[in-house]
Structure 1
Amino acid sequence: PTPMPHTPAGGIGTSNHIPVYHPLSDFDFQSLQLGLYQEYIELDLFEYGLQKFSVDDFEAAGLNAADRFLIEFMAEQEAGHAQLITNMLGPLAAQRCSYQYPFNTVAEFVDFCQKLTRWGESGVYGFLEHLDSRDAAQNLLQSITTEARQQMIFRQFEGLFPMPVWFEVGITQSMTWTLLAPYVKSCPQHNDQAPLVWANFPTLTITNNPSGSDPNFPPAVSTNRTQLSAPGREVNFQWEATGKSVGPDGKYTTSSTAGPAFYAMWQSQLNTTYTPLYNIGGDGLSASTCQPDGFVYPGDPVVNGTIFVTIVDQQVPFVTTSNISYVNPHIVAGPAVYQSG
């Protein structure tokens, strides 16, 4: 087609393109459906935290009325995001579920929010450029950029440096569903009409994960806070065997096609980095490794911020966010969220 005036040849949808805001493939539908599950838990999480904790609880944690209103507004954003994806998916769009959360204090609530929004954001980056429907991808991009702001705000609420990396990483749909599913308690029967097809890998736990919560670092716009971890730090893992029922009403089962565990795979910024495991348990369900060193570019450590670590059976070469799904067949367990800074 003839390019529009003042428009160079090339590009996608640049010449008299009529947008179509719905899935164009099963891949599109399943990716957007997963995104809808993520939007709903964020909506519920923000509302639940505001209901569970008193004004005094929030004030004691350094969060005032304006901060609480910001969380309330984030919930309104999530309602809009859920409506957007529902409109694109049509009648088989998932409905809001009931959830279970691992926190008992405001500090733990904030920490969980900044981790959950991290995997929600990274989970979309991992599939956004692979959607057949570029118009649906454009809509989703405009919602996920909002979520990126939410994640940074929760880092500020936790007293962490707001953005310690130069780039944000992407993860696969199966990684996202693995992280999300344990917190989805039950769902309406309607959701059984279009169940998610993504894998649920065994849950991975980092038993000595650094904590982002520190009373010496209250909520702040920015905090010049030392990184929570360093290259060479020993990191200890435990993971579950396959075959566990997870997700809404226990309708999903963890699985893996990988061989024995040999490496930890670190996903951060533009990089995928492998470190060998040692002290591998006799049952094959525990191990240790050392945090890797190195830089993306000079001045930008490869491991920093809120990142992902996964146990794999081998090193899959030349993997970036663009082709990260190539590692799925090699995942033994995880990912887990690692709080490196």
Structure 2
Amino acid sequence: MLRSRALVLLAAAMGVLSAPQITQRDMAKPTDTEVLQFAITLEQIENAFYHEGLDKLDAKAFEAAGYPPWVRARFEQIKEHEATHVAFLASALGPAAPQPCTYNFPYNDPKSFAALSMALETVGASAYIGAAQLLENKDTLTEAASILGVESRQAGWVASAVLKGSAWDGPFETPLSMDGVFSIASQFIVSCPESNPKLMVDTLPKLAIEPGSPHNGESVKFKFDHKEVKHDGQLFVAWFDGIFVQYSDLSQDDTASVPDGVQGTVYAAVVNEKAGTPTAQKLLTGLAMFEISFPSYAGNP
């Protein structure tokens, strides 16, 4: 239940926070430096989140929320991991490293902090998987994979040990494109230094869904600005779950049904074509992120 609340909380944040002030550049295949600039931007979000959250929420706050002492202690370790990731990427980038931005995180107690942590770690892992194909230098790829492994472990720990849900969604993690990841991560950014390098991303129209935590087979209402999504033909909803993509026709009243078989953390976006893989799909909107819970005795799809 708490894990589902995490993504409902994230969806609410995406509808409330204003668009970040981040400069974009013309689109082309990113260089390794540009991929690392994107990676450190995500790591800076996580780093700021843990430092701010653990400064605000002391041991007594976690105890009052019903958590044993080791939960906050593990979050302190994650905070150190994220700070190390930022320092490592900053060292690799040198003068090309972007500076931290100003952020806004929607949590007010240890439980909502833990829920948002799970969402951030899950998106972070998907970002590294999706960006792996863009890296040319194999040493850089290995280093990114090492960070990916930690992000995934952290997401699994928060989801299972803290939120009492499942540590995984299925046999595959979900790779996401830089644009898709940024449509989620950017919602926590208020503003950035004007001196920061331009990110290799395309800012996508916001997407909201109703209900915020649907079930398999349920009809979902998709809310987005049609003026920003200029396409006259048939639109589809792409459902990202692991390395596979399923599609539903988007009806004239902007509804579509959740496919059978998707479970755990699922992402959805409006598209106008059916690409074979998640990272090959051109998104017309940002991603909606939600949770389809499944019990421990359920089989993987």
- Scaled by the length of structure 1, the TM-score of the pair is 0.72
Measured after TM superposition, the shift of residue 53 of structure 1 is: 2.6
Aligned to 2:180: 175
Shift in CA distance, 182/137, structure 1 to aligned 2, threshold 3 Å: same
Measured after TM superposition, the shift of residue 183 of structure 1 is: 1.0
Measured after TM superposition, the shift of residue 99 of structure 1 is: 0.4
The answer to whether residue 139 in structure 2 is matched with residue 166 in structure 1 is: no
| Deviation string, structure 1 residues 82-127 (Cα, Å, up to 9, x no partner) | 1221122221111222201122232222221111211111011112
Aligned to 1:232: 217
Identity rate of aligned residues, in percent?
24
Secondary structure at the counterpart of residue 196 of structure 1: coil
The answer to whether residue 285 in structure 2 is matched with residue 320 in structure 1 is: no
Shift in CA distance, 239/260, structure 1 to aligned 2, threshold 3 Å: farther
**RMSD (CA atoms):** 2.1
Is the radius of gyration larger for structure 1 or structure 2?
1
Q: 1:28 aligns with which of 32, 35, 56?
A: 32
* Contact 2:35–2:134 (CA under 8 A) maintained in structure 1: no
Aligned to 2:208: 205
**Which amino acid counterpart does residue 248 of structure 2 have in structure 1?**
T
**Which amino acid counterpart does residue 159 of structure 1 have in structure 2?**
K
Shift in CA distance, 261/111, structure 1 to aligned 2, threshold 3 Å: farther
Measured after TM superposition, the shift of residue 144 of structure 1 is: 1.1
The answer to whether residue 74 in structure 2 is matched with residue 117 in structure 1 is: no
Partners of 1:290 and 1:79 in 2: CA distance = 41
Measured after TM superposition, the shift of residue 171 of structure 1 is: 0.6
* Contact 1:265–1:273 (CA under 8 A) maintained in structure 2: yes
Q: 1:333 aligns with which of 280, 285, 289?
A: 285
Aligned to 2:198: 195
Secondary structure at the counterpart of residue 95 of structure 2: coil
Secondary structure at the counterpart of residue 95 of structure 1: coil
* Contact 2:30–2:200 (CA under 8 A) maintained in structure 1: no
How many equivalent residue pairs?
264
Shift in CA distance, 259/144, structure 1 to aligned 2, threshold 3 Å: farther
Measured after TM superposition, the shift of residue 175 of structure 1 is: 0.8
| Deviation string, structure 1 residues 170-212 (Cα, Å, up to 9, x no partner) | 0101111111112111223431xx11131110111123122xx
Aligned to 2:266: 307
Using CA pairs under 8 Å that are at least 6 residues apart, name the structure with larger relative contact order, 1 or 2.
2
Unaligned runs of 5+ in 2: 1-28, 294-301
Shift in CA distance, 70/132, structure 1 to aligned 2, threshold 3 Å: same
Unaligned runs of 5+ in 1: 1-24, 211-228, 243-254, 281-286, 294-300
| Deviation string, structure 1 residues 209-265 (Cα, Å, up to 9, x no partner) | 22xxxxxxxxxxxxxxxxxx64212222212466xxxxxxxxxxxx66655672110
